[in-house]
Chain A
């Protein structure tokens, strides 16, 4: 293969994606990266224009007190390796890049890539433990943006960014695939739920539901479960035909332009459909990318989305609170269970309240992790790390921290309303050969334990 796979240019065509996918594991891609020239002038200009007083002050004011060290699960799981201290990681990369005013080579940029994607999941936990409030996670996210612009990003991130730009979703799911999957799920569920439907592009619906392409491609049961839950709560809902996918591998990749495209696509759907509320599936970074960061990428000065957005856990909490979903007491979770606090909607959006409200309805023996809530640790696989082969080993080491937390609770089930956390937990059980702990999203549990309202037609199958 002689074509140039590794360039600063984003992938914007199907062919581009396929070419990258053909290069197994990115072998060619990474070897080409070593030869890629760094446009030092452009880099200097980028830093000058985009790195302002907040970041520069963070880097210059750091007291080197090492209070961030123990806050980082990478530091803890790597035997307190001093090179894993958040302050060190960012000073040696972005700090150094600024000091040298962009006069760096490919080897340095690759070192930055290794840190930005292999040594940080942008979980922002360090920001909570720094006396100055320095957010190294935010700085690594910024660095990812710089590296994306100059082409030094992991292979899977390049592909993911391309997927969003081409398909409007994180995977190669076309509009046809999407709508057909909805129809297929309705067909499958028709026998049990005669009146179930998945309305597409229904104007003025109360709820517009947006989700993760993975659900369409790999486990459409999730879509069926979502439909069932909307159905039994008499929700006037719909899904968009375009702008139905709210994840953001572009955010993980540092592709801000791609991020803006994603968010605008979803907001455009809101303009067409005019829902009262948008509900997102159980995905952490989707919420962060669409609701927390999204409004800014779409140019909204207030930082607020155009209409109320709810993460799935907010919707479920409301349904339980208002009695629209009633739990059969006999089916409540009896085994000890614990709750994963996903960084992107707990620490970064305060929804730990909603998840705990849910637990109070569905679990009889709920054990909190320590630390919990806004102070909880990253699952170990966030920020795109779960999907990056180059850093699989590093990720597997990092998973140990969360596994220890889970085991310390004595829980047999981990509730994990987030795709990346769910994956990380699945993988840690496999990597560390834990066979007795299960993990689950909310939807399958709710569908199992809910009391079906009398007025809903239901056939036992």
Chain B
């Protein structure tokens, strides 16, 4: 049973994750329609490509856009979560060892202390996000089941991972829970709002291109000032 969960099921969940997200990205691009959307996607690449890149990268920097600066609390929570949520799955030593053994990809690994801090930051952020969802009148108007689902899906691997890290007595139990919750995250990602892992980049590239090609790219003098 354990061998299945840590062996074939792990491979399956990675495969579903990668293939699923790739499919979401490809379907997104194929579903764009220059005529219906009135954006000449294949024209003016000399400004649409910088526009798409600016649109993506400015938003990846804390406070890098007016949008972030206008919402300091949301910004803080967002980066508190995403630094860990992106770096830990990819660069935690335990994960890089597995990735190298099972998939053959070699990634550099984070120092242990850094990994601990990032994980605790990410977990705290999830809890704070949940509190924000419960207490903000604006968010209470918007909340849906999917929002809670992805909070849970993200909470579980971090919580069980940290418990395994710090609680020696039930280590293997926490590890099994961690592996299962991690695999659940991977398998469900392409089918839930977790697909923003790729769709964030697609959507931001699209709006960046829209503004660059059509809405002022030729006259503004530079990319849109996000």
A positions within 8 Å CB-CB of B: 50, 52-54, 56-58, 60-61, 63-67, 69-71, 80, 82-83, 85, 87-88, 91, 124, 127-135, 292-293, 296-297, 301-304, 314, 347-354, 371, 373-375
With both beta carbons as reference points, the residue of chain A lying nearest to B225 in the complex is identified as: A374
CB distance from A82 to the nearest CB of B (A): 3
Residue of B204, B210, B219 touching A349 (CB-CB under 8 A): B219
Which residues of the other chain, A, contact B199 by a CB distance below 8 angstroms? 57, 61, 132
Query: Would you call A58 and B203 a contact (CB within 8 A)?
Result: yes
With both beta carbons as reference points, the residue of chain B lying nearest to A344 in the complex is identified as: B215
Q: How many residues of B contact A (CB 8 A)?
A: 59
CB distance from A428 to the nearest CB of B (A): 24
Contact A87 to B207, CB < 8 A, known contacts A52-B33, A54-B32, A128-B67: no
Which residues of the other chain, A, contact B142 by a CB distance below 8 angstroms? 64, 66, 82, 85, 87-88, 91
Query: Would you call A133 and B33 a contact (CB within 8 A)?
Result: no
* Chain B binding surface, main DSSP class: helix
Stretch of B36-44, B99-107, B113-121 at the chain-chain interface = B36-44
Give 16 CB contacts A-B under 8 Å: A52-B37, A53-B27, A53-B32, A54-B32, A57-B202, A64-B147, A66-B139, A128-B66, A128-B67, A130-B67, A303-B43, A303-B213, A350-B215, A350-B216, A353-B220, A374-B224
Stretch of B6-14, B70-78, B158-166, B177-185 at the chain-chain interface = B70-78
CB distance from B63 to the nearest CB of A (A): 13
CB distance from B131 to the nearest CB of A (A): 14
Residue of A70, A132, A304, A374 touching B200 (CB-CB under 8 A): A132
> Is B168 in contact with chain A by the CB < 8 A criterion?
no
Residue of A52, A54, A88, A347 touching B141 (CB-CB under 8 A): A88
Give the distance in Å from the alpha carbon of A131 to the alpha carbon of B65 in the complex: 9
1/0 contact string of B167-202 vs chain A (CB within 8 Å): 000000000000000000000000001011001101
CB distance from B45 to the nearest CB of A (A): 12
Contact A63 to B147, CB < 8 A, known contacts A70-B71, A129-B66, A303-B39: yes
Query: Would you call A85 and B208 a contact (CB within 8 A)?
Result: no
Give the distance in Å from the alpha carbon of A236 to the alpha carbon of B22 in the complex: 56
Give the distance in Å from the alpha carbon of A197 to the alpha carbon of B219 in the complex: 31
Which residues of the other chain, B, contact A64 by a CB distance below 8 angstroms? 133, 139, 142-144, 147
Which residues of the other chain, B, contact A304 by a CB distance below 8 angstroms? 40, 43
For the complex of A and B, list the 4 residue pairs with the smallest distance between their C-beta atoms, beginning with the closest: A53-B31, A350-B220, A350-B216, A133-B207
CB distance from B174 to the nearest CB of A (A): 29
CB distance from A390 to the nearest CB of B (A): 24
Query: Would you call B70 and A349 a contact (CB within 8 A)?
Result: no
Which residues of the other chain, A, contact B144 by a CB distance below 8 angstroms? 64
